[in-house]
Amino acid sequence: MAKAPANPKAFPTLALETLLIQRVNGPVCGVDEAGRGPWAGPVSAAAVILNPDDLPPGIDDSKALTEKRRAALEPEIKARAVAWGVGFASVEEIEALNILHATGLAMCRAIEALSVQPVAALVDGNYRFKLPCEIQTVVGGDGLSLSIAAASILAKTARDRLMIELDAEYPGYGFAGHKGYNAPVHQAALKILGPCPAHRRSWGPIKALLEEA
């Protein structure tokens, strides 16, 4: 007889959304970001208000999905959600504000882009960003909340698409492949070409290269 796995994969649900909607008596969105750690490119965020009666199947934490699966889910989420929004904070804003506050700025822009404004938001992580609505932080939220998971997909696909555009604008760094993260090909390109305007110049490895120049 086959044994069930000791720790079966748990998929996100609408349980947290349901409890919060009952408390605030209004729309609730999920919020997540992508791109806090890379050496290059903006940070992105997305906000999603899902329709509990029209949920795209297969929504999960974006990190648990393949690029192909994220690409397939993105239009499904956008078409079937009550509302969705995406926001960015630029490399210049990251440098001026620091990555934490720039992430909060991207989240604000994502919420403000919603066609239906939420009363409250479920936000992945434990940091209480200053957002234009009440927030409830959820550690590991992209694996627990369907709304946050949907937001993680939209934030990731939006940023990946922008990094592909930056690859065309600044060829040679491999942005289309590694999306600005640390990778051997990225390190090698930096040694040959030096940083470009898309790089976060206050990041340790980039800062070190500039000081060597």
Q: How many CB atoms lie within 10 A of CB 101?
A: 15
124 labelled ligand-binding:
yes
CB 147 within 8 A of CB 29: yes
CA 17 to mean position of chain CA atoms: 19
How far is Cα 184 from Cα 190, in angstroms, rounded to an integer?
Answer: 10
Among 90, 81, 58, 82, residue whose Cα is nearest residue 71: 58
Query: Which residues lie closer than 8 Å to 5 by C-beta, 6 or more apart?
Result: none
Whose tokens are 């555009």? That residue is 165
Query: Which residues lie closer than 8 Å to 213 by C-beta, 6 or more apart?
Result: 194
Joined together, the tokens standing for residue 138 give 């959820």
How far is Cα 62 from Cα 153, in angstroms, rounded to an integer?
Answer: 5
**Cα 39 to Cα 21, 89, 90, distances in angstroms:** 38, 14, 13
Whose tokens are 């239906």? That residue is 116
Mark the binding-site residues for a divalent metal cation, compressed into ranges: 32-33, 124
Annotated binding residues, as ranges? 32-33, 124
